[in-house]
Amino acid sequence: MDKRIDQIIANLKELYDPEIPVNIYDLGLVYNVDVDENDTANIIMTLTAPGCPVADMLVEESRQAALHVEGIKDANVELVFDPPWDKTMMSEEARLELGFF
């Protein structure tokens, strides 16, 4: 795997939904991260709810997280709602932290 993808993921793990004390990656909001041949990062993500009031902020912060990785020239974030997010998409650590076990 491209090391830049690992770095993007590490940066995404620094971003938090303001209402939930878990980073967006472990929360399961990030469906895919890749880097194309033009050194553009592409992130596919969702939100916990379609009407999320911080949607624009989370999308822009995710884009900036990718752009802060050395060698990334541009970044696109696609917001999708299919499949819809649910609690099973969270990492085991996130479920433990939120008491879902």
Residues 11-20: pLDDT tens digits? 999 999 888 8
CATH code of the domain covering residue 25: 3.30.300.130
Domain count, the chain: 1
pTM of the model: 0.93
Secondary structure class of 31 (helix, strand, coil) = strand
Task: List, for residues 35-70, the tens digit of each pLDDT value.
Answer: 999 999 999 999 988 888 889 999 999 999 999 999
Q: Which domain holds residue 23?
A: 3-98
Residue 101 — pLDDT band, cuts 50, 70, 90? Answer: low
